[in-house]
């Protein structure tokens, strides 16, 4: 059962809007001709702006690391990991081939430096070191990756490792990668790493290591600040890119391009198309407090309810303006214990009775079980009318 909060019923937003999935029904733009698969989505709404074979299962190569980075950022957000934590490199992690930052067995780096190694240099060794730290073993971390994919509702993804090195039964799709990237970009700090073009590891040592981003668009396309390239002979040249202009962030994925030049050119065309044809109207940022709601049997009587991610409306440029309403529904009879970030309801953006988007609402604070004394005082207050 849900209880509709009347205080946020029928708030009129003067915004332009198009029916969901309306863009997919239009004639496709002539894009990504030299790629096996491609997609462009708007980040906040998840609206598909262009797609080609976007549900085909293909090897993702190092774009696998987008999921690895997502689990790292979640752990930081939850407080179980910090940027200053030292991560020790195992013999197994140091043995990884392909792209690497040449970690030595027993070498320690901070999470900050490990993230730089993964995001900028696509370090396979750093990815495994982080996976082993968070999961105990890489195998356990891979289980976490696949569990997260299921949690996101992704049906065409299966990971076998944390770094994307070739492995049987290791696959995903352009659509699934876009959805994983959408989730990762909730954590705004990530672009502080993926948006780096060049930096150094071991800055104050004799083994100073120069990092140069494998995603050249970070330097050459204004607004690009991520996310991850990929290449194996099987996967060919791949890239998941994100760019932001004028409050609009898009995510573009290319899989199976024949050359890095062609990969970058096709991503550039998709980004140009998106920014020239569409517009995002920002309603709320992530963690925006929408209301205070009552909680029973807790050490607090009420908690803030806030957005779990950015909330926007996407339109085509030049469309007419229609009235849009928002409606918030909160789970009935919230009671302790609640942890900050626990889902407590949903924000609906609607037009003419049609739901345009649904955004999970979460608890903005922790609520512990009330002590017997607080419960006793609550009972007394009811009798006294206070």
**Considering only CA atoms, which of 194, 320, 328, 319 is closest in space to residue 249?**
194
To the query of whether residue 245 is one of the catalytic residues in this protein, the response is no
User: Where is 173: in which H helix or E strand?
Assistant: none
317 is in an annotated binding site: no
Write down the residue that tokens 């976007």 correspond to: 54
Question: Phi/psi at 107 (nearest 5 deg)?
Answer: -70, 140
Under a CB-based contact definition with an 8 Å cutoff, are residues 217 and 267 in contact? yes
Which of 36, 52, 54, 65 is catalytic? The answer is 65
Instruction: Give yes or no: 384 in active site.
Output: no
For 302, the token pair is 């009420």
For this structure, is 62 an active site residue?
A: yes
From the candidates 37, 122, 127, 162, give the one annotated as an active-site residue: 122
121, 235, 79, 97: which is closest to 170 by C-alpha? Answer: 235
Contact call for residues 111 and 87 (beta carbons, < 8 A): yes
CA nearest to 141, candidates 162, 118, 172, 171: 162
Which one from 37, 62, 127, 357 is the annotated catalytic residue?
A: 62
- Is the backbone peptide bond immediately before 62 cis, with ω within 30 degrees of 0? no
From residue 249, alpha-carbon distances to 28, 60, 243, 317, 374 in Å are: 20, 22, 6, 15, 47
β-sheet with 248-257: strand ranges across = 48-52, 37-42, 248-257, 236-245, 224-232
Nearest in space to 96 (alpha carbons), one of 104, 88, 106: 104
| Nearest-angstrom CA–CA distance, 44 and 283 | 10
Annotated binding site for substrate: 228
**Catalytic residue numbers?**
62, 65, 122
Binding site feature residues = 228
């Amino acid at each position: 059962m849900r209880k509709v909060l009347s205080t946020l019923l029928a708030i009129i937003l003067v915004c332009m809007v198009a029916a969901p999935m309306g863009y997919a029904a239009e004639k496709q733009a002539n894009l990504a001709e030299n790629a096996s698969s491609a997609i462009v989505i708007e980040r906040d709404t998840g609206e598909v702006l262009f797609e080609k074979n976007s549900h085909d299962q293909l090897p993702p190569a190092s774009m696998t690391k987008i999921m690895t980075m997502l689990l790292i950022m979640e752990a930081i957000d939850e407080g179980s990991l910090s940027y200053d934590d030292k991560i020790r490199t195992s013999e197994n992690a140091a043995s990884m081939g392909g792209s690497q930052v040449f970690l030595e067995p027993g070498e320690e780096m901070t999470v900050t430096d490990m993230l730089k190694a993964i995001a900028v240099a696509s370090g396979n060794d750093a990815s495994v070191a982080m996976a082993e730290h968070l999961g105990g073993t890489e195998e356990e971390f891979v289980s976490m990756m696949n569990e997260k994919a299921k949690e996101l509702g992704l049906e065409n993804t299966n990971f076998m490792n944390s770094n994307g090195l070739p492995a049987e039964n290791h696959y995903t799709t352009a659509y699934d990668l876009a959805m994983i990237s959408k989730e990762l970009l909730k954590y705004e700090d990530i672009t502080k790493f993926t948006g780096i073009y060049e930096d150094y590891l071991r800055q104050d040592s004799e083994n100073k290591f120069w990092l140069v981003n494998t995603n050249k668009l970070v330097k050459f396309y204004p607004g690009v600040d991520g996310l991850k390239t990929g290449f194996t002979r099987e996967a060919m040249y791949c890239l998941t890119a994100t760019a932001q202009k004028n409050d609009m962030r898009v995510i573009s994925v290319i899989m199976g391009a024949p050359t890095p030049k062609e990969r970058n050119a096709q991503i550039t065309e998709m980004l140009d198309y998106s920014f020239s044809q569409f517009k995002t109207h920002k309603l709320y940022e992530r963690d925006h407090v929408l209301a205070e709601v009552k909680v029973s049997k807790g050490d607090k009587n009420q908690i803030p309810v806030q957005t779990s991610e950015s909330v926007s409306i996407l339109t085509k440029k030049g469309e007419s303006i229609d009235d849009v309403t928002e409606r918030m529904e909160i789970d009935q009879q919230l009671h302790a214990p609640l942890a900050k970030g626990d889902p407590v309801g949903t924000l609906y953006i609607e037009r003419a009775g049609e739901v345009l988007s649904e955004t999970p609402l979460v608890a903005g604070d922790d609520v512990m079980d009330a002590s017997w004394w607080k419960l006793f005082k609550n009972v007394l207050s009811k009798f006294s009318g206070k």
